């Protein structure tokens, strides 16, 4: 027996583990220096009250004979599936609960869903959230990278792809790491291409709450998307569930490959490998979609947006080219040099930890990601130090 050979294609270390180890070295050589973490995309504000209330109540129920819950249903409790369906109804997207699969994280499902398909080339933008790329490599799937560059506004389109081939197309909008969002017309073009070529789109909508421009919050708003697009959403970046873990995958009944239902294949796969999300967490997610819950996390999203505005102000003042920060918590800036070198110089001079663009793909060389998930105090300090550094 040997280890799956596809591991040889992966970098030795996951990007964020590499950053953590470099920061640990810096701490050792700079004892007492204050570090300003603008690297990892983890939220920092505590859960808002509607969600903690639901969590506490559901946990207490679990300690009573009547309120105890064992294994959750594979696809999620009906109360949460209904709440997700009504969240989508605001966009004019009609879903039946059986098309919604509750999960413990978008990363879990994005990393796993490729295994239900045979063949197909993965289409990924470069730079990209590493999970899309690395899980495609692990699955042994051929990959086509579309460079997201200043020239195409960091929004690659399918122009160079053949309509004679069918692809597994990963799209993420608003995007991590570039922070830019596709327009509705561009998403419609992707859907039209997928339909013409018999491809399937996997749409990562984790940052939809940050979209401030007009445009689709969901790929399912595009005409015909219900026949060719799977959407993955998460409670992580809006309601702050990165530590609680809850997400959902939407697979319409109308997606067929070779006459077979993709929804049924995903349902069957989940029944083999997944045992559901806990009752208290699903209750908290339900609360996050209540009117009060939405209002509470919108305030948090606005807080991170204001942080992004503060960082963007420094870049604008210094004339540094950048995108993002408007429809997403991330800013993607041109650092004008090797991005790991910029990472080290910035850390040494200011204690700011960002993410080297090249860690998200070759096309990210010369670019750098800053995250606005942090306290106002951290952002203000970082803005000041960054201003002096640049």
Binding mask 176-195 for ligand PLP (x = CB under 6 A): x-------------------
Q: Is 172 an interacting residue with respect to ligand PLP (CB under 6 A)? A: yes
What's the min distance (Å) between Cβ of 364 and ligand PLP?
A: 14
Q: Is 231 an interacting residue with respect to ligand PLP (CB under 6 A)? A: no
Cβ-count burial of 25 within 10 angstroms (0-12 exposed, 13-18 middle, 19+ buried)? exposed
Q: How many residues bind ligand PLP (CB under 6 A)?
A: 13
Q: Give the C-alpha separation, 28 to 156, whole Å.
A: 41
Q: Which is nearer to ligand PLP, 161 or 202 (CB)?
A: 202
What's the min distance (Å) between Cβ of 206 and ligand PLP?
A: 4
Q: Give the C-alpha separation, 252 to 100, whole Å.
A: 8
Q: Is 225 an interacting residue with respect to ligand PLP (CB under 6 A)? A: no
**What angle separates helix 279-288 from helix 291-318, to the nearest 10 degrees?**
70
The interface with ligand PLP within residues 275-294 (CB under 6 A) comprises none
**Cα separations in angstroms, 169 against 44, 143, 188, 250:** 31, 10, 14, 16
Q: Give the C-alpha separation, 98 to 322, whole Å.
A: 42
Binding-site member from 39, 41, 156, 293 for ligand PLP (CB under 6 A): 41
Contact stretch for ligand PLP (CB under 6 A) within 70-78, 150-158, 186-194, 234-242: 234-242
Q: Which is nearer to ligand PLP, 234 or 252 (CB)?
A: 234
Phi-psi region of 124 (alpha: psi -120 to 50; beta: other; left: phi over 0): beta
Cβ pair 382, 38 in contact under 8 A: yes
The interface with ligand PLP within residues 114-133 (CB under 6 A) comprises 129
Q: Is 44 an interacting residue with respect to ligand PLP (CB under 6 A)? A: no
Give residues with Cβ within 8 angstroms of 299, minimum separation 6: 48
Q: Is 331 an interacting residue with respect to ligand PLP (CB under 6 A)? A: no
**What angle separates helix 15-29 from helix 339-350, to the nearest 10 degrees?**
40
Q: Is 360 an interacting residue with respect to ligand PLP (CB under 6 A)? A: no
What's the min distance (Å) between Cβ of 128 and ligand PLP?
A: 9
Going by their DSSP bridges, the two strands 121-126 and 100-103 should be labelled as unpaired
Q: Is 247 an interacting residue with respect to ligand PLP (CB under 6 A)? A: yes
Q: Which is nearer to ligand PLP, 161 or 277 (CB)?
A: 277
| Partners of residue 147 on adjacent β-strands | 126
Binding mask 68-107 for ligand PLP (x = CB under 6 A): -------------------------------------xxx
Q: Is 236 an interacting residue with respect to ligand PLP (CB under 6 A)? A: yes
- Report helix, strand and coil shares of the chain as percent, to nearest 5: 45, 15, 40
Binding-site member from 184, 242, 253, 334 for ligand PLP (CB under 6 A): 242
Q: What values do phi and psi take at 139, rounded to 5?
A: -80, -5
Q: In 154-166, which positions are buried (b, 16+ CB within 10 angstroms) versus exposed (e)? A: bbbebeebeeeeb
Q: Is 234 an interacting residue with respect to ligand PLP (CB under 6 A)? A: yes
Binding interface with ligand PLP (CB under 6 A): 41, 105-107, 129, 172, 176, 204, 206, 234, 236, 242, 247
């Amino acid at each position: 027996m040997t280890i799956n050979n596809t591991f040889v294609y992966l970098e030795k270390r996951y990007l964020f583990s590499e950053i953590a180890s470099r920061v640990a070295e810096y701490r050792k050589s700079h004892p007492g220096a204050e570090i300003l973490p603008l690297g990892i995309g983890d939220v920092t504000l505590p859960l808002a009250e509607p969600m903690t209330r639901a969590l506490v109540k559901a946990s207490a129920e679990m300690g009573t004979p009547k309120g105890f819950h064992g294994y959750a249903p594979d696809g999620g409790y009906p109360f949460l599936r209904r709440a997700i369906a009504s969240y989508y109804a605001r966009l004019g997207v009609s879903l039946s609960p059986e098309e919604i699969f509750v999960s413990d994280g978008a990363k879990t499902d994005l990393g796993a869903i490729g295994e239900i398909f045979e063949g197909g080339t993965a289409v990924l933008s470069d730079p990209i959230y590493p999970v899309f790329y690395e899980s495609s490599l692990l699955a042994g799937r051929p990959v086509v990278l579309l460079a997201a560059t200043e020239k195409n506004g960091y929004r690659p389109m399918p122009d160079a792809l053949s309509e004679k081939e069918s692809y597994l197309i990963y799209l993420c909008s608003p995007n991590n790491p570039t922070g830019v969002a596709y327009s509705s017309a561009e998403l419609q073009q992707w859907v039209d291409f997928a339909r013409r070529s018999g491809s399937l789109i996997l749409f990562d909508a984790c940052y939809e709450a940050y979209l401030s421009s007009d445009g689709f919050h969901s790929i399912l708003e595009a005409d015909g998307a219900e026949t060719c697009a799977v959407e993955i959403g998460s409670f992580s970046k809006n309601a702050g569930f990165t530590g609680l873990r809850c997400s959902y995958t939407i697979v319409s009944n109308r997606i067929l490959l070779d006459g077979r239902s993709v929804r049924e294949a995903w349902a069957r796969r989940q029944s083999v490998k997944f045992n559901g999300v806990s009752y208290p967490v699903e209750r908290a997610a339900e609360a996050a979609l209540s009117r009060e819950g939405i209002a509470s996390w919108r305030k948090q999203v606005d807080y991170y947006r204001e942080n992004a505005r503060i960082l963007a102000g420094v870049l604008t003042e210094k004339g540094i080219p950048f995108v993002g920060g408007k429809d997403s918590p991330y800013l993607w800036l041109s650092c004008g040099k090797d991005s790991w070198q910029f990472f080290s110089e910035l850390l040494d001079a200011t204690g700011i930890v960002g993410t080297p663009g090249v860690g998200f793909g070759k096309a990210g060389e010369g670019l750098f990601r800053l995250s606005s998930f942090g306290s106002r105090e951290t952002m203000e300090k970082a803005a000041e130090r960054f201003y002096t550094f640049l």
